[in-house]
Amino acid sequence: MVVSAITTLPAPTRPGAVVDEGSWSVDDAFWDKVFPLLPPAPSHERGGRPRSDDRAIFSAIFYILRTGIQWRALPRGFGVAPTTVHARFQQWCADGLFARLHAASLEAYAGAWGIDWLWLSVDGGMTKAPLGGEATGPNPTDRGKGGTKRSLVTDARGEVIGFAVAGANRNDHLLLSETLDALAAPRPEPTPQNPQNVCLDKGYDYQSSRDALAERGYTAHIRTRGEESRDLRTIPGYHPRRWVVERAHSWLNRFRRILVRWEKKVDNYIAMIQLACAYHTFGTAAKAAPG
């Protein structure tokens, strides 16, 4: 997605108003999904300063997610202080708002399209983590610089239904169990008539991966070393089923706060991923609506 640079942002003029940030905005449709999931606001029976508007703060968090800017670089046009936005983000992380939002998006997606459990895909992707922090480690593909790994599991259409985060030096197959156990949507029981297949690349070609899948009732489809290269050469138009999880990593990288991890706390980084996944999945669910 190509987005234009933003130079001037008008200030909100009424409670609940948001900055006009173009493709970075939180529109009414998305806000209507978020609002019922917000925790109750604390009471101000003893007075004090009025509470900053939830929508303005959520819009500011979404802006940071999309652009990757520093918290303190937040444009004044949002009408809220960066310290207030960060404090509310921490409160919402602790409350589980972003986990609820991801789960709600998958519920909407299941109602609109149905989660396709027949062919799941799992794969890991590494990204930079310049500030280090929890669940980071030396990236073997980036001269040992600090990095983090996100391991995604997607349904057959490529929607993220679960993920795990670890240091960049953690091998993919060692994250498989944690990833499969992190589903954000209820999983139906697999049956002989409705099996649940999991597609994996050669990085998971270990007995421990097959055992982890079997223990959970999944059917493993692991490409052995050299097998996929042969098929790409010999089968015209061949595409692995698991390309959808690679596309999901590409989608997430459009959110620049995820492309480069600046959060030292792993819970904060997980919350950013959950917000990005929720935004994308709600969008997919809406495409099934009439008109």
Distances 206 to 193, 201, 226, 228, 229 between C-alpha atoms, Å: 27, 11, 15, 16, 18
Contacts of 74 (CB under 8 A, 6+ apart): 60, 63, 64, 80, 82, 85
How far is residue 86's CA from residue 98's CA, in Å, rounded to a whole number?
A: 14
**Model pLDDT, residue 12:** 37
Pick the CATH number of 116-262 from 3.30.2310, 3.30.420, 1.10.1060, 3.40.1710: 3.30.420
Phi, psi of 152 (to 5 degrees): -105, 150
Containing 128, the helix (H) or strand (E) segment is strand 119-128
**Model pLDDT, residue 252:** 97
Low-confidence ranges of the chain (pLDDT < 50): 1-20
| 1-45 pLDDT per residue, tens | 223 333 333 333 333 444 445 556 799 999 999 999 999 987 766
How far is residue 214's CA from residue 218's CA, in Å, rounded to a whole number?
A: 6
**Model pLDDT, residue 3:** 30
Biggest CA pair distance of the chain: 74
Distances 4 to 1, 41, 169, 216 between C-alpha atoms, Å: 10, 35, 35, 45
How far is residue 11's CA from residue 74's CA, in Å, rounded to a whole number?
A: 13
Domains in the chain: boundaries: 116-262
Please report, as a single letter, which amino acid is at residue 219. T
**Model pLDDT, residue 229:** 59
Phi, psi of 204 (to 5 degrees): -110, 15
Q: How far is CA 133 from the centre of its chain?
A: 19
Closest listed residue to residue 26, CA positions, set 89, 78, 80: 78
Q: Are 151 and 123 in contact (CB under 8 A)?
A: yes
How far is residue 95's CA from residue 93's CA, in Å, rounded to a whole number?
A: 5
**Model pLDDT, residue 57:** 95
Closest listed residue to residue 252, CA positions, set 130, 135, 123, 91: 123
Indicate the SS3 state at residue 127.
strand
Closest listed residue to residue 161, CA positions, set 134, 188, 136, 135: 188
Residue with the two structure tokens 């009424």: 14
How far is residue 73's CA from residue 9's CA, in Å, rounded to a whole number?
A: 13
**Model pLDDT, residue 224:** 73
